[in-house]
Amino acid sequence: MHEPTGCSATVLVAMSVREVDARDSLLALAGTAGPDTGVAFLQLGDPSLSRELDRLADAGVERVVLVGVSLGTLAPAASWLRRIAAHWWRERAGHRPVVEVASRLLTSLGSAALGAVLEEVRPLTGAEPGLTSAAWEDVPAHRHQVLVCRGPRCTALGSDRTAEALVLALVERGLGDDDVLVTHTGCLLPCNQAPVLTVQPDDIWYGGVDAAAVVRIVHEHLVDGMPVADLGLPR
């Protein structure tokens, strides 16, 4: 990460696990954008957004501009970046910089695209919604939980595309969290069968799961209740 050299800093915030996989590309873009540009992660990556904001505030930075980055279909809405940044801002003890958030997400990694996104930023007010809601109080009443391995081997062999295909196939069939709860995990093993996912509580494991395999798993197993035998791994 770059140390700030002035009173202002820009942070590219990876919004989903897809952008965690693109860490090197994000760091490269930050490097071309200037010495006061860094990278943070909203989920599943380090440094977290809160930790990076703490670092910049402790260094005396007076203004921080946050740019959410989404390179696929897995990222939460841009409003989540404001929500989480505002939580940090309200809870921060000591020096608090002015925090501004780009109004739209950066969807391609290029200096021109970044410049365009930075043309419209809005400061936090402290009145943004908090991190809790009555809608998030209870465990979803899901029938199945699908664990998608995002370990190093599965990621290298395309588990980001597997996860995206899974979400899109579930949406196509009208299935939400109360039907199928999708969870990204670290290494699940067995790595030689990557990309791997498992359907619980059925204790069915699948290997070599590409986008075409995902469609079969959703249609045959999660909808029709028949595990896909030729994709299953022995237990």
The reply to whether 100 and 175 lie within a common domain is: no
The reply to whether 179 and 106 lie within a common domain is: no
* Number of CB atoms found within 10 A of residue 151's CB: 17
Query: Do residues 64 and 11 touch, judged by C-beta distance below 8 A?
Result: yes
147-173 confidence digits (pLDDT tens): 999 998 998 899 989 999 999 999 999
Number of domains in the chain: 2
The whole model's pTM is what?
0.85
134-148 confidence digits (pLDDT tens): 988 999 999 999 999
Cα distance between residue 80 and residue 133, in whole Å? 13
The reply to whether 55 and 152 lie within a common domain is: no
Residue 234 belongs to some domain of the structure: no
Of the three residues 123, 155, 172, the one that is the final residue of a domain is 123
Structure-token pair, residue 35: 């010495």
In tens digits, the chain (235 residues) has pLDDT values of 444 445 999 999 999 988 988 999 999 999 999 889 999 999 988 999 999 999 999 999 999 999 999 998 888 888 999 999 999 999 999 999 999 999 999 999 999 999 999 999 999 999 999 999 898 899 999 999 999 999 989 988 999 899 999 999 999 999 999 999 999 999 999 999 999 999 999 999 999 999 999 999 999 999 999 999 999 999 8
Cα distance between residue 178 and residue 207, in whole Å? 25
Residues 6+ apart with CB under 8 A from 22: 14, 71, 109
* Number of CB atoms found within 10 A of residue 34's CB: 14
